[in-house]
Structure 1
């Protein structure tokens, strides 16, 4: 009313109030409620609501996570993440918005993994992960993945979701705590080789004389094996190194440091190649060469490789499909154990590492030095912060420790005579 008079007088007025006054007059004349007239119309979404995106997909988030430059992963870890990604996207759906992943979604993935056949992508390449799991559940003759592998799948998926929380793509991790209870004690997953197994391994024709280094390695003959078939097992037993760490060694990784012959276990190559990987940061280390290996003329073998121009110490091992020489050796070593009657449940090449740890305990080697020699992590805490100071143990200290590693009752004197 007042705004109308101001308008008629040529004065400034508020258009909104004028419209409100006009509407009030209209309501009064018609006797209808303005609220009622508005509510009678169907509610229409605003343009902003219509354009609101569903959010990044699981596939997009996975790619951002794996490409994150703040995280450093070795080739094997990346391979494991990629394997997990294929299964996760197969079950949940690559195009599923990450915000739509619920606890129920994660439980469904967990249940599918429980019945997933071993190597399903190779054996059942024509089946989806869900269909392969249904087969594994219905046919008990189908071997399914063990609890350790299942939990590894879930742990890697959970790390993705933790990252998504940190990056504020989602509010919480719906997979938290989804792990299958382990029924096997960690110490029972792998066992060290027994004395009898070690005796049979190093008394096999490979070490005493075989027909040849190919198919005749298990038959007695005049040939003493060389290269990987001779030295890799000995290095594993006397250094505690992981199989892949040994198989990927460059010739240049055998160095004299402060007068001590050492294995330099590293991802870096002096030639600039990037074909090595380590399990974790603690894996990078120097390990003095055990005196028994020195007496077995290991350094002469290294020098021959150097003179020949070889870059890889064990270039007699072929590269696997994923670029790891350890794959070929692992398969051969499994057959070798059977041929030497040295196979037993819960033992494999990794049993050398378990045996090394026991030998270090029995030699009363200081725990911190053992962790350095084996490339084991020290665990979080104040001690880990303190470990960041200084350059580490002198090679002589490490040599004096590793020289104490012995396996009572194991006679290797026949190797010294060859």
Structure 2
């Protein structure tokens, strides 16, 4: 993107964008410089443009605050603000430093932390930037999505001290009628207006109770943090949750044997027209990439969908002579495109004997020889950086086309089925939990579980080799 197309004030310094704005004439003596600038900490032009608009509003707020402190009347401040960049009413604040002629500028602590000066947006940014909280990429994405919706409904410029129980109840009621993916279906429509559509039209699919409660829980965690940091005295959203009508154990079910038979006898496995639009039509082509292997890996490893889809070729290794999946956020190339749900998710999972018989290691070797970095590079990288998003949507369609769809089942049902198969094989519970990345250990003593380096790969292989699904025959896959 050429610099002439960048918005006013945006520039590239090295590989990082920065935003620069002129100091109004009436404040130059106070600031001691003619311009202020802010590093946007990104090399992405599209993200820099959004952050630039945010920076303009935040700097506008800072100018307005300096005038207020100086004692200017409202009319004088309004007149002077015409010389600024940005609109204060839509301001969002962040913790990125503002620099004036290479000097870091910041409001005085008294001004910055005064209750009526702390906006919801400012508190949100401090919460997300808190270095004492470690969040994986997916969790951070969920918080960012929640922030966007909450600020749309409540208003990012609303002082944190003005958020009351009634404010939170209003947020709750709007969320109850919020259409699924409203920002994609109704572009340029506010969350509140989209919710009005969802409330008036019974055909519009709205977010389910689980997602609604997840929004409220994440917003509640922000307010709990604000209480702990003494920005507010109490959490006004406490207890605002919709009663679940489905028991947690019934939200997801393992695939039945009949469903598994239909999945693994579908044209993708028996022969389809092609691997793209013709995947559900009979033909002579057997899938070779993600559409063939990801479901099999889920069935025989119990790994989460994203853990599988983000694998590097280098993540399939021989460890002490055992072929394993190495599930980790780390990359041998130094890449940072992987994420895990929690600390326990980092683990090794030996390949099931059936995967070895089906030629999975031959597939890996072909990818390695081709110079591929990602094991499933045939999956597009989603807008949020997760290859699993595209596969999840395709798999939902695949279940329908293969007549394997049923209530409470989805890709995650493989994980439920793996857990049941491990129970039926009487595999030691501690080993199962480690194979699946469910916890750090057996649950008796976290301190004890922290000692040592864990099970030998051969022990884990001997355990996973016991996983079987009576009634499911995969021998036809050996003939491909």
5+ residue gaps, structure 1: 1-46
User: Is residue 164 of structure 2 the alignment partner of residue 102 of structure 1?
Assistant: yes
Report the equivalent of 2:300: 238
Report the equivalent of 2:334: 272
Report the equivalent of 1:111: 173
Does the CA-based 8 Å contact 1:55-1:99 persist in structure 2?
A: no
Distance change (3 Å), C-alpha of 1:220 and 1:97? same
Does the CA-based 8 Å contact 2:271-2:286 persist in structure 1?
A: yes
Question: Which protein has the bigger strand share?
Answer: 2
Q: Which secondary structure state, in structure 2, belongs to the residue aligned with residue 54 of structure 1?
A: helix
Deviates more, 1:73-82 or 1:269-278: 73-82
Alignment match of 2:463 (pick from 398, 401, 405): 401
> 1 or 2 for the larger relative contact order (CA 8 Å, sep ≥6)?
1
Alignment match of 1:293 (pick from 349, 355, 365): 355
Report the equivalent of 1:262: 324
5+ residue gaps, structure 2: 1-70, 72-109
Deviation at 1:382, TM superposition (A): 5.5
Report the equivalent of 2:152: 90
Distance change (3 Å), C-alpha of 1:224 and 1:94? same
- Number of aligned residues: 370
- The separation in 2 between residues aligned to 1:63 and 1:347, in whole angstroms, is 37
Alignment match of 1:183 (pick from 245, 255, 268): 245
Alignment of 1:221-370 (within 5 A): 221-370=283-432
- The separation in 2 between residues aligned to 1:237 and 1:380, in whole angstroms, is 23
Deviates more, 1:334-343 or 1:250-259: 334-343
Deviation at 1:378, TM superposition (A): 5.6
* Dislocated runs of 4+, deviation >4 Å: 50-53, 378-382
* Coordinate RMSD, CA, aligned: 1.8
Does the CA-based 8 Å contact 1:237-1:355 persist in structure 2?
A: yes
User: Is residue 419 of structure 2 the alignment partner of residue 383 of structure 1?
Assistant: no
Distance change (3 Å), C-alpha of 1:175 and 1:380? farther
User: Is residue 197 of structure 2 the alignment partner of residue 135 of structure 1?
Assistant: yes
Deviation at 1:334, TM superposition (A): 1.7
Report the equivalent of 2:275: 213
Does the CA-based 8 Å contact 2:177-2:196 persist in structure 1?
A: yes
Does the CA-based 8 Å contact 1:192-1:354 persist in structure 2?
A: yes
Deviation at 1:363, TM superposition (A): 0.9
- The separation in 2 between residues aligned to 1:313 and 1:380, in whole angstroms, is 32
Distance change (3 Å), C-alpha of 1:376 and 1:416? same
Report the equivalent of 2:478: 416
User: Is residue 208 of structure 2 the alignment partner of residue 149 of structure 1?
Assistant: no
Distance change (3 Å), C-alpha of 1:87 and 1:272? same
Deviation at 1:263, TM superposition (A): 0.4
- The separation in 1 between residues aligned to 2:115 and 2:288, in whole angstroms, is 63
Deviation at 1:379, TM superposition (A): 9.1
- The separation in 1 between residues aligned to 2:321 and 2:181, in whole angstroms, is 47
Larger Rg: 1
Deviation at 1:215, TM superposition (A): 2.0
Q: Which secondary structure state, in structure 2, belongs to the residue aligned with residue 107 of structure 1?
A: helix
- The separation in 2 between residues aligned to 1:113 and 1:324, in whole angstroms, is 25
Deviation at 1:286, TM superposition (A): 0.7
Does the CA-based 8 Å contact 1:205-1:220 persist in structure 2?
A: yes
Deviation at 1:216, TM superposition (A): 2.0
Does the CA-based 8 Å contact 2:323-2:350 persist in structure 1?
A: yes
Q: Over residues 86-107 of structure 1, what are the superposed CA-to-partner deviations in whole Å (9 max), with x where a residue is unaligned? A: 1111121111111221222111
Does the CA-based 8 Å contact 2:299-2:414 persist in structure 1?
A: yes
> What's the TM-score once normalised by structure 1's chain length?
0.85
- The separation in 2 between residues aligned to 1:245 and 1:222, in whole angstroms, is 31
